[in-house]
């Protein structure tokens, strides 16, 4: 990945208060860490030493906005330049303050060794080195986000590689540097695993004769569609992240959207708040990744399941919303990202108190999914 590609697009951002994370070369990322450490040491060595607060980009919902695309159809979440403080002298934030420096120390070592690690590998390293400060994966994940918010560079620039759950199948040829091309239509029902190496993804050559890209929420549904070779009847590429999308799968989809800008991207998710949240993450990015969201956002359309599909599903196949669904619905309804037709769908879920899973369509037979998708495409029924 070249830094210029990310920065050149910044010229077109309409909101000048947008905060973003740079893509840096290893020596540039090390330099930012060194500057942060030197600033801390300078304060400690002053005649009146005091531990200053760490100024981190505020990642709360109140600091998030939506950039509506002017030159493209892509909109995305971004964080404004509001800061939050983490202080060593505050009992509530003291451990979080130290964790930032511990993570930066490990990242500096990784960059020196020219290595890449996953956040899971980082957790075990920190658990061994600093057990008093790290006891869970979520503490590591939050500390990584803090470092990104402090240094204003992407986690990949810090040597942290994305763990990928993503799979791709269908009418796509992928050729990684120095390797033979992979035909994703010949990888069987398991599909082709998307690598977590974003640099490798960025340099992979892509070729396709597909007319659609279809995101599938569930691995089991992806497996069914690929096993039935639906991509032979609907010229498409199927992608799944097996649930909530990881960074690598989102980056892969974004790369496809820029390589093949004329291909519509359609999402097949459960008719419940969680399914809509997954779709919105692919479409807008997430607040937690607000500093990098614009690098992963895509113009995704919702093909199903939707409220007008409920007449296809037996009443007994509809199940009550779970408490978690209600929490997600409340969060989505209070956010700025939800467009009106999505808001109407979500309100209908809340009003009926019901949820429908894609598998409910199997009442029409196991081969019905392909027909369902084809009908939706022909009728243009996606929003």
Among 208, 282, 211, 275, residue whose Cα is nearest residue 252: 282
Tokens 């060595």 belong to residue: 45
- Written as one string, the DSSP assignment of 200-265 is HHHT-EEEE--SEEEEES-HHHHHHHHHTTGGGTS-EEEEE-SSSPPHHHHHHHHHHHHHSTTS-E
CB 5: neighbour CB atoms within 10 A?
Answer: 12
Beta bridge partners of 65: 78
State whether residue 318 is helix, strand or coil: coil
21-24: long-range contacts at Cβ-Cβ below 8 A with a sequence spacing of 24 or more? 21/148, 21/152, 21/153, 21/154, 21/155, 21/157, 21/291, 21/292, 22/152, 22/153, 22/154, 22/157, 23/153, 23/154, 23/156, 23/157, 24/153, 24/154, 24/157
As a whole number of angstroms, the distance between CA 33 and CA 350 comes to 47
Q: Which of 20, 76, 124, 362 is catalytic?
A: 124
Cα 123 to Cα 128, 152, 334, 364, 365, distances in angstroms:
9, 21, 33, 46, 45
- Contact status, residue 370 vs residue 228, Cβ threshold 8 Å: yes
Respond yes or no: is residue 368 known to be catalytic: no
> What are the catalytic residues?
124
């Amino acid at each position: 990945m070249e830094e210029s590609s990310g920065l050149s697009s910044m010229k077109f951002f309409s909101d000048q208060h947008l905060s973003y994370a740079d893509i840096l070369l290893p020596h540039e990322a090390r330099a930012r860490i060194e500057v942060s450490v030197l600033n801390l040491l300078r304060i400690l060595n002053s005649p009146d030493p005091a531990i200053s607060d760490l100024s981190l980009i505020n990642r709360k919902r109140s600091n998030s906005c939506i950039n509506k695309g002017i030159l493209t159809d892509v909109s995305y979440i971004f964080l404004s330049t509001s800061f939050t403080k983490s202080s060593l002298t505050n009992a509530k934030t003291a451990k979080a303050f130290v964790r930032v420096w511990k993570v930066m120390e490990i990242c500096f070592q990784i960059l020196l060794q020219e290595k890449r690690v996953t956040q899971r590998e980082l957790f075990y390293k920190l658990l061994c080195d600093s057990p008093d400060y790290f006891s869970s994966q979520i503490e590591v994940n939050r500390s990584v986000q803090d470092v990104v918010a402090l240094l204003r560079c992407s986690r990949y620039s810090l040597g942290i590689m994305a763990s990928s759950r993503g799979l791709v199948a269908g009418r796509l040829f992928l050729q990684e540097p120095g390797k033979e091309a992979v035909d994703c239509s010949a990888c069987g029902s398991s599909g082709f695993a998307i690598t977590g190496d974003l640099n490798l993804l960025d340099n992979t050559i892509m070729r396709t004769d597909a007319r659609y890209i279809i995101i599938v929420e569930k691995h089991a549904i992806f497996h069914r569609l690929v096993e039935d070779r639906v991509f032979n009847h609907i010229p498409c590429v199927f992608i799944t992240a097996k649930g909530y999308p990881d960074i690598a799968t989102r980056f892969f989809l974004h790369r496809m959207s820029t390589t093949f800008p004329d291909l519509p991207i359609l999402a097949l998710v459960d008719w419940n708040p969680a399914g809509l949240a997954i779709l919105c993450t692919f479409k807008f990015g997430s607040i937690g990744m607000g500093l990098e969201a614009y690098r992963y956002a895509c113009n995704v359309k919702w093909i199903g399941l939707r409220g007008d599909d409920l007449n296809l599903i037996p009443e007994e196949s509809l199940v009550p919303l779970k408490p978690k669904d209600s929490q997600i619905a409340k969060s989505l309804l209070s956010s700025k990202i939800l467009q009106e037709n999505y808001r109407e769908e979500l309100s209908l879920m809340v009003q009926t108190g019901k949820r429908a899973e894609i598998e409910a369509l199997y009442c029409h037979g196991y081969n019905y999914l392909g027909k369902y998708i084809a009908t939706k495409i022909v009728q243009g029924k996606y929003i």
